[in-house]
Chains A and B, each alone.
Chain A
Amino acid sequence: MFFFTYLARELRRRLRQAVFIALGLAVGVGLVLTVTAASAGVKNAQAGVLKGLYGVGTDVTVTGQAPSDSQAKPGSGSGSRVSIALGPNGAQMCVNGKCRPLKNGYTIDTLASSSYAPMNEKAATEIAALHGVAAAAGGLLLTDNRTTISQNPSPPTSFSVDGTDISQQKLGPLSDAVTKTGRSFKPADANRNVAVVDANYATSNGLKTGGTITIGGTKFTIIGTVAQPEGSNPPNVYIPLARAQSLAVQGPAGGSLKNDVNTIYVTAASAADIPAVQREIAKLLPNATITTPSSLASEVTGSVSSAAKLADDLGKWLSVLVLIAAFAVAVLLTMAAVSRRIREFGTLKALGWRGRRIIAQVMGESFVLGVLGAGIGVGLGFAGAAIINSIAPSLSATLSQPTGEHIVTPSGALNPTASHTVSVPLVATVSGAAILAAVLLAVAGGLLAGMFASWRIGRLRPADALSKVG
């Protein structure tokens, strides 16, 4: 009881100094919390962008090697090859080796895999059996290209199609989708000509649930529309994988994609397993491209990337500097306070107080200041996060992705990429772990100050202390 009375009275006596020390620690702690919250917000924004690209729950994406410009020579590249020939029966248009008379109104509609090389679908089963893999599902990312022959020519159109393994809808692009109208796939749809359409694409193209859409020259019934999270770049249309394998073609000869996939979505058993899973897949499929969240994150550019760098570099160092300054202020002020109280401590020693008891008194005062600093600091941290949330502009994330198109030019083949920029809100959140760390930091700062003072008190000789004027 005497301990607390003495402690409270002493803190009240030097209230201004105590408030200054507590505020110093609070500013340091508040800044650390704010920077941590901002950093967490940026990371969440990044994660949101990445999640939208490959869906919830996907840790690793395996794609067949994309044909490069140097590999694809004119006329020998993969993708749809179109040629016009003149024969005895008039002009003919040949698409992937299949020729038909060139008539007005004739529509060429091909569904092709042109961005990624095919892999046997058994690869997904083999990956699923690897150690550290929780689940794996194959898919076909395709492009439907449509050209209509007309006396009034119109530009060719294309849209992206995803062949979805409907037995594993928790993996892949459809995993994060929310059904807006109609329904999603059922197991019975595996071999039916049914399609789910992205809600935005459906709106802009006048498509509705119950209507039809022609894919690869085949009519599909639209059973539902889905919305994907903001920031994602979803396929326009989803169809059952088996139907996609049956309709799509690969390569100049229009090779069949039966039993093939060009993308495999993998979920690791835990985040720690991802590097090992990546290595195992590389051994299993040496020519495949393996993408992990971290490798994908490095490809994201734009303000989200700059903000992440800022939070990681400048924010971290700024916090460290402010913390050091706060600790130094706390130590110096506590030492100054102890210097002013030397005679008081000498008197207590003369009264028979042990050095340990006096040190405990000073450490108690420092501890209380640390706790006060922590409390105020947590408040400042929340305020800082709130300010960031109210004034921070939305971050943009840009990721280059294959368009799915394959263009053959006189100088070679190209797989053009499109820069996909999305706007993501920055939501700075203060986590419980960050609060705990901040409280510990502030208390440590207070105790550190007390320790320096204690070191001085420990060395104090009563006669010397009593001779001090003050």
Chain B
Amino acid sequence: MYELTGVGKAYATGSKKVVAVAGVNLTVSDGEWLAIRGRTGHGKSTLLNLLGGLDRPTSGQLLLDGRDLGRMRDAELTRLRATTIGFVFQTFNLVPTLSAAENVEAALIPLRTGRAARRRKVAAALDSVGLTDRARHLPSELSGGQQQRVAIARALVKEPKVLLADEPTGNLDEETRDEIIGLMEKLWREYQLTLILVSHDGAVVRRAQRVGIMSRGSISFKA
């Protein structure tokens, strides 16, 4: 469970201070699907980075299962990302030189999973996203939707508790978008994930249990 109390993130750009996230108070329950929408530059991705331990808040307290992410050492945050949090990015972020299976396998490297177990888990993850027959293909040989499926398999292969998705359908056409969101919804239920999804697409966020609106670094919820 996430508990955010007055979480803020400010950047110094030269002599100016830019506040990306301003005093966010938020609780996300285990197994909840929260969608965050808002206009570009209003702090959605920054908040997601804070939730994923990719960045640290400059103010407030950000707890994940009672552990303060802002006070954890880098090595602890790295370990947390390796075991507990899965990421899906708008641009897929697959390693171009590795095949679909190897990209998925990359998520298991920090866990020091044995080779045989890795292969088994990778095959299962690719199967769950319907890409068993594309395991040996390089990202450049896959369509956008297929690449995003590989990214989802990579995020889920380690069986994380939390899945953070930053505009996961932003680079896809409508048909593929629906396909991917449908897949994510299925996996959310199947894996009982806490899913936090950032998108500016109304069709996507409507599928979530709860929708937060980010505006000028603050989040608000419709009643």
Contact = CB atoms under 8 A, between A and B. Distances in A.
Contacts of B82: 351-353
B54 A466 contact: yes
Interface string B53-71: 0110000000000000000
B33 interface: no
Contacts of A347: 89, 93, 95
A10 B97 contact: yes
Interface residues of B, number: 29
Contact of B81 (A6, A344, A351): A351
A466 B107 CA distance: 16
A352 B78 contact: yes
A344 B94 CA distance: 8
A269 to B, nearest CB: 59
B208 interface: no
Contacts of B80: 352
B142 interface: no
Interface string B73-108: 001001111110001010001011110001001110
B115 interface: yes
Interface string A248-266: 0000000000000000000
B109 A350 contact: no
Contacts of B97: 6, 9-10, 12-13
B81 A354 contact: no
Interface size class of chain A, counting residues whose CB lies under 8 Å from the partner chain: 20 to 34
A12 B98 CA distance: 11
B110 A357 contact: yes
B109 A357 contact: yes
B54 A350 contact: yes
Interface in A1-44: 1-2, 5-6, 9-10, 12-13
Nearest to A461: B55
A406 interface: no
Contact of B154 (A9, A10, A351): A351
B171 interface: no
Nearest to B46: A463
Interface centre among A351, A353, A357 (most CB of B within 10 A): A351
B52 interface: yes
A354 B54 CA distance: 13
Contacts of A293: none
A348 B106 CA distance: 8
B13 to A, nearest CB: 13
Nearest to A10: B97
A349 B105 CA distance: 14
B49 interface: yes
A466 B90 CA distance: 11
A351 B87 contact: yes
Nearest to A8: B97
A463 B49 contact: yes
A353 B81 CA distance: 9
A354 B78 contact: yes
Contact of B95 (A344, A352, A466): A344
B81 A1 contact: no
Contacts of A81: none
A343 interface: yes
Given A344-B95, A344-B96, 15 more contacts: A6-B97, A344-B93, A347-B93, A349-B78, A350-B52, A351-B82, A351-B154, A352-B81, A352-B110, A353-B78, A353-B109, A357-B109, A462-B54, A466-B93, A467-B45
Interface of B: 45-46, 49, 52, 54-55, 75, 78-83, 87, 89, 93, 95-98, 102, 105-107, 109-111, 115, 154
Interface of A: 1-2, 5-6, 9-10, 12-13, 343-344, 346-354, 357, 461-463, 466-467
* A-B pairs with lowest CB-CB distance, top 9: A352-B82, A9-B97, A463-B55, A352-B110, A347-B93, A462-B54, A352-B81, A463-B54, A463-B49
30 contacts: A2-B105, A2-B106, A2-B109, A5-B102, A6-B95, A12-B97, A343-B93, A344-B93, A344-B96, A346-B93, A348-B106, A349-B78, A350-B54, A351-B87, A351-B107, A351-B110, A351-B154, A352-B78, A352-B81, A352-B110, A352-B111, A353-B78, A353-B82, A353-B106, A353-B110, A357-B110, A461-B54, A463-B46, A463-B49, A463-B54
